[in-house]
Chains A and B, each alone.
Chain A
């Protein structure tokens, strides 16, 4: 049963990623990105990361994607005739060859390492959210604060950038 769900989420997320890159209409690309985000969140559930699943659905699909769609509709983009670079085949072929090589390397790797102190049984006892909260507000408190300051800076930067600029010289020119 796990394998069936994994195959579904994996195949659908890969297909949605390809559609996001390949579709012509930007709004369709955004909707394909939505499908990708939801299927990736399904993969998180299979990995016992329920809190990340919720964050993925709420923050990514709910906030970031809506921001993208707002901007798409604000700009009222026309569908372009040539939406790829003219030289995209020069990128496509080396990238596909390189990625096949990387995949071959990945399948040969052993993936062993030192185990941490949070086995699945311990995480499932109190829940994933509890485990993340305990870890975040003890060992990762500084990083949490840094992310908070980063988000404040991003908000201020976005507002300053997107604000309508004052006309230079005020109203004396008359033509603004």
Chain B
């Protein structure tokens, strides 16, 4: 039997990897992919606790997380297309229109 802490450790490693990806990558699309890695890490955690604490609530929340990830991907990629149309770049360093 696999202990719960093993799943939590996998999820923590994935989350840290995704966080690093958001921090250090310069391509906006890869940053969105790193956000997906973090959402998956949260999902592993939710499902593992749902299994070990014998409750269905975690799996339901994981389903909602997947739905929200789909919405986030659609809107984020639409924003990328708009930005790319105007500036021909997906570098996050060059998107500073809202910075003051």
Contact = CB atoms under 8 A, between A and B. Distances in A.
Interface of A: 2-3, 6, 10, 13-14, 17-18, 20-21, 26, 29-30, 33, 36-37, 40, 43-44, 46-49, 51-52, 55-56, 59-60, 63-64, 67-68, 71-72, 74-75, 77, 80, 82-85, 88, 91-92, 95-96, 98-99, 102-103, 106-107, 109, 111, 113-120, 123, 128, 131-132, 135-136, 140, 143, 147, 150-151, 153-155, 157-159, 161-162
A26 B30 contact: yes
Contacts of A102: 12, 16
Contacts of B13: 14, 17, 99, 103
Contacts of B60: 132, 135-136, 140, 143
Nearest to A147: B67
A3 B69 CA distance: 30
A14 B54 contact: no
Given A43-B10, A52-B62, A33 B36 contact: yes
Contacts of A18: 17
Contacts of B6: 6, 10
Interface string B16-29: 11111101111101
A95 B47 CA distance: 25
Interface of B is mostly: helix
B63 A20 contact: no
B9 A111 contact: no
Nearest to B51: A47
B21 to A, nearest CB: 4
Given A85-B26, A118-B56, A162-B82, A13 B51 contact: no
